[in-house]
Amino acid sequence: MTFSVGDERIDVTPDALTDNAYDPDGYRFHDIFHLAYAAVLDWSPVTRSLLQRKRKSDPLVDEVEDGGRAVAIEEGISAMVFAYASQYRMFEGVRTVDYSVLRTIRDMTAHLEVRARTAAEWEDAIIQGFDAWRCLHATGGGRVHVDRQARRIRVLNSDTTPHRSFA
């Protein structure tokens, strides 16, 4: 899987991607959720770390917003929502997320900068992430473009034309 944020590009080789599960469930493509959070919420300590864009110039922000606890929280959110979505056909045809899930996310992120984001914004990020996840899972991978200005992610074909854009 390759993803880009603006001019930044990261390649993740297929050999490095596994589901880390007894039954293959496609979790190996879960980085798409982090990209969706970066696109829609302008928040993803995981993506900042992958792009080596942690905010080192401000030690407190680097520790709190980009540090290990924030990364663990984001990974926990991704795993929790994945488990929830697995009960609902990975959100295929679904445009809403249960309020209790959104409330749990809000509680988990209450001390972070992303606390300013609304439940509707989280819902949009989650739905876009799963729309893209289903494309990646169906094709066995792909290229993803993150448009932070438009707050959208899109899966690209190998020739870089949009495969599907998520709105």
pLDDT digit string, tens, across residues 62-78: 788 888 999 999 999 99
Q: Is the pLDDT of residue 38 over 90?
A: yes
Structure tokens at 4: 């880009």
Does any domain span residue 148? no
Q: Which residues have CB under 8 Å from 107's CB, separation 6+?
A: none
Average pLDDT over residues 15-33: 82
Domain that holds residue 120: 31-141
Does any domain span residue 154? no
How confident is the model at residue 161, as a pLDDT?
Answer: 47
Q: For the chain, what is the mean pLDDT?
A: 86
Structural domain count, the chain:
1
Interatomic CA distance for residues 104 and 55, integer angstroms: 27
Does any domain span residue 77? yes
Q: How far is CA 92 from the centre of its chain?
A: 17
Does any domain span residue 84? yes
Q: Is the pLDDT of residue 144 over 80?
A: yes
**Burial of 64 per CB tally in 10 Å (0-12, 13-18, 19+):** middle
